[in-house]
Structure 1
Amino acid sequence: MCFGRRGLIIIIIIVLSICGMLGFIVTVGAVTHAVTVDMHREVFCSVAVIGVLVYICAQLGIVGLIRESNSVMWFFVASMFVMCLVSLFICITGIMPYRVEEDSKVVVENAWKELLKGKPHNMQAIEVKYACCGKVGPQDYTENNIPESTSCFKNLQKEGGEKYQKGCLKEHSKEFGSLLLIFEAFYVSMIIFCILSLLISGFLLVQAY
């Protein structure tokens, strides 16, 4: 394989390695940041696994280049082909059907029901994370004759503290929607680059061998 083609494949493999690790990091960040992902944790975990596998496939390509092994390089291309198919499948069946408003409503509603049963932990966690109070606002506590939680106040201080006026349904949906949009954009970009890398690598290998 000539230096130009070899250099191009090396660049592709390096970028694939970065994409794989970033895919894993971004997914873990999404899982730890948003409560809503508990409803679709298997999808996010699958994306994290895909990121790791893309990174491993990239290292396989490096091994193939170092050893100048035709079989290893073709195995690398075949592995990337499988990764592309699996990634597309996850994107179409798991990520694209995601309904932010509906899922956010389920999460907040369930947390509120638990609060009414004397288990306020999840609702308080949502109120602190999204700087909100109640489902639609502080009036939810008044209507249900429940004292407002300290999580409805900035810095968790009732006395002299600023009370959050926005409801958690709206705030949770808005913030998680923005997070999901960033995640989707990154994931789709990674899939597109993997497909382009697959096509370019396969073409260069065909030309070389």
Structure 2
Amino acid sequence: MDCGTSMVKYILFLFNTLCSICGILLIVFGTLLLNNIGDYHNLGDAVKAQQIPVGLIVFGSVVLLISFLGCCGAIRESYCMSMTYSVALLVLLIAQLVGVVYFWVDKQNFVNSMGKIVDKAWEERTSRADFMDALQVGFKCCGKSGPTDYLTSFALPPSTCCEKNDCSVPSNIYISGCKQKMMDFWSGKSEVIKFAGLVVVGIELVGFIFGCCLANNIRNYKRRATY
């Protein structure tokens, strides 16, 4: 193959390596978010809290698989694999862009639904305190709005409201409420998710262009070789 095609091949290989790294980072980031959420499977709106990290893990896995296909297509100089990679990347790119725009527009509703999770957990704490305890340990918070929520309910803050589960020292009690902590957490993470998604879209667009160029050059080279 000519020098230009060889250069495109190795550039595509490097781009797919970068995409693979991005896919791995998305999987790790999604796993960390899922771990932070805890077990809220019976809290109604809580399912929305798990959609984003699970979506990131699935999306990262798809990016990783497609990038692997692109690397193999470039190294093996396969027209079929390179074209399949380009089409798959285009579909993924469009789907991701739609998802980022939707999340951008619907951010506040999503953040508000995260606050409702804490409301529900607080209401059900008397029958099932483990949900509220998980929030308090995970976000280092106490009560829905603060430790005074327990006092107004004629109860003392539980050990999960305190640093190292030691409430004997007043300074160990978390003063922040879990509802605001939860909403602030997802508000900040949503910005990271949006801009990270746009960066990945940009990388995928470059990979798509180079994939099409490589597939076209491979097809032309094989045609000339048959003459």
If the length of structure 1 is used for normalisation, what is the TM-score?
0.87
2:153 match: 144
Matched letter for residue 23 of structure 1: L
| Counterpart Cα distance in 2 of 1:101 and 1:48 | 20
| Counterpart Cα distance in 2 of 1:48 and 1:95 | 19
Q: How does 1:109-128 map to 2 (within 5 A)?
A: 109-115=119-125, 117-128=126-137
| Counterpart Cα distance in 2 of 1:95 and 1:111 | 27
Matched, 1:27 2:30: yes
1:86 match: 95
**Range with bigger deviation, 183-192 or 120-129:** 183-192
Matched letter for residue 36 of structure 2: H
Which runs of 5 or more residues in structure 1 are unaligned?
none
Matched, 1:189 2:192: no
Which runs of 5 or more residues in structure 2 are unaligned?
41-45, 221-227
How much has 1:200 moved relative to structure 2?
A: 3.1
Q: What is the number of equivalent residue pairs in this alignment?
A: 208
Q: Is the 8 A contact 1:26 1:183 kept in 2?
A: no
RMSD of Structure 2 on Structure 1 (CA): 2.3
Matched letter for residue 72 of structure 1: M
1:130 match: 139
1:11 is aligned, of 14, 36, 54, to 14
1:77 is aligned, of 73, 86, 106, to 86
- Kindly indicate whether structure 1 or structure 2 has the higher relative contact order, using CA contacts under 8 Å at least 6 residues apart: 2
If the length of structure 2 is used for normalisation, what is the TM-score?
0.80
How much has 1:94 moved relative to structure 2?
A: 4.7
1:180 match: 190
> Can you list the C-alpha shifts for 1:44-88, whole angstroms capped at 9, x where unaligned?
323322211121112112222233221221111111111112212
Q: Is the 8 A contact 1:27 1:183 kept in 2?
A: no
Q: Is the 8 A contact 2:17 2:67 kept in 1?
A: yes
Matched letter for residue 71 of structure 2: I
**Range with bigger deviation, 90-99 or 8-17:** 90-99
1:169 match: 179
Q: Is the 8 A contact 2:12 2:71 kept in 1?
A: no
Q: Is the 8 A contact 2:49 2:114 kept in 1?
A: no
How much has 1:196 moved relative to structure 2?
A: 2.3
Aligned-pair identity (%): 19
**Range with bigger deviation, 31-40 or 132-141:** 31-40
Q: How does 1:40-119 map to 2 (within 5 A)?
A: 40-94=49-103, 96-99=105-108, 101-115=111-125, 117-119=126-128
Distance 1:178 1:81, change over 3 A: same
> Can you list the C-alpha shifts for 1:11-64, whole angstroms capped at 9, x where unaligned?
112112112222222112212123587424334323322211121112112222
**Range with bigger deviation, 72-81 or 47-56:** 47-56
Matched, 1:157 2:163: no
